[in-house]
Structure 1
Amino acid sequence: MAYETFEKVEGIIQGINRGDSCCSMTVSLISDSNIVNVVVDGDTIVIDNVRLRPGMRIAAFYDTNLPTPAVYPPQYRAELVTSLRRGQQVLLDYFDDNLTSADNSLQINIGPMTNVATLNGQQYTCSPENSELLVYYTAATFSIPARTTPQKVVVMCQY
């Protein structure tokens, strides 16, 4: 899957309503004082299979190449959803052989306490360089690129 066209919307879940079918739902988020609707269906990847509920802080990634309806509030079809803890940030990007993101916004250092896993939660035993990574972190330096030792890294393996 080509993750380079993915954009993130982050916020607190205000409400969850049934979608167009019994297998989909519309999640209403408060994001930067605005409401954004995210459609979650059976094809949406939900990291750790977490049950979404009101009050939860999430990040939803959608494909900018897919058409979106011209409605207010904006509505996106989520390809990937993950829950976030207080103060936690997440970045989905390609990381090179120096573990620097393609947009040069973040460089990661894999520490002994960093949980490196595949999308299905299995331990990833190889080096994560030159891969698409979903990186969870809290504190980062103010340098360019920012540097951090993430708590968790999900390697988006290409099959």
Structure 2
Amino acid sequence: MTNFLSFTGRVMGIEDFPIVQNNPQSGCYKLFSLTNRDGSIVNFVVEPTTYFVDHVKVKVGDIVTGFYDANAPAPLIYPPQYRAIVMAEDNPNYFVTVSFFNSQLLSSDGNLKLNLSRQTEIILENSQDFNGNPANRNLVVIYGATTRSIPAQTTPYKIIVLC
């Protein structure tokens, strides 16, 4: 089970991130530098497998949230540098959460419970339909209003299953 954490900030820079010198993969990896309102900085390594919600093209100046595995090894440097698993551009029309959801569709932090409906679109990262049960999986959840209960409950617009 992946322990997802996130950092939201304005993109201050995007540059190529060389993995190995003279590598054919050169240019396939990017380093996104984000700064939040408090002035904290985080760098995200964006790989070819990083999932971008709505397949947006992020540019300098955009406000984005990077989701990463808190249990993955990270270099002890400043600013901190994490491998981005999911990136989501700030959107006033919906919220995005990335988490492991158990058999009751409760997020691993216990803060969000999903109530599926027939209108909830459930897809894979490649935008193909997912026909199985989304429970007990890592999910990207796109949703709107929630209840004020604990945990908050929502009927998501879309779920992306991270296989």
TM-score (normalised: structure 1): 0.80
Residue identity opposite 1:113 in structure 2: Q
Structure 2 residue aligned with 1:22:
27
Residue identity opposite 1:7 in structure 2: L
Please state whether the residue corresponding to 2:48 is helix, strand or coil. Answer: coil
Equivalent residues in 2 for 1:1-159, closer than 5 Å: 2=1, 4-20=2-18, 21-33=26-38, 34-86=40-92, 88-157=94-163
Residue identity opposite 1:138 in structure 2: G
CA distance in 1, matches of 2:49, 2:108: 26
Q: CA deviation at 1:122?
A: 0.8
**Structure 1 segments of 4+ aligned residues over 4 angstroms from their partners:** none
RMSD in angstroms over aligned alpha carbons? Answer: 2.3
Q: Percent identity?
A: 37
CA distance in 2, matches of 1:151, 1:75: 31
CA distance in 2, matches of 1:43, 1:128: 20
Q: CA deviation at 1:71?
A: 2.6
CA distance in 1, matches of 2:100, 2:73: 24
Q: 1:95 to 1:5 in 2, by over 3 A?
A: closer
Q: 1:131 to 1:43 in 2, by over 3 A?
A: closer
Q: CA deviation at 1:48?
A: 4.6
Structure 1: runs of 5+ lacking an equivalent: none
Residue identity opposite 1:10 in structure 2: T
Q: 1:145 to 1:63 in 2, by over 3 A?
A: same
Q: 1:156 to 1:66 in 2, by over 3 A?
A: closer
Q: CA deviation at 1:40?
A: 1.2
**Is the CA contact (8 Å cut-off) linking 1:48 and 1:121 kept in structure 2?**
no
TM-score (normalised: structure 2): 0.79
Please state whether the residue corresponding to 1:44 is helix, strand or coil. Answer: strand
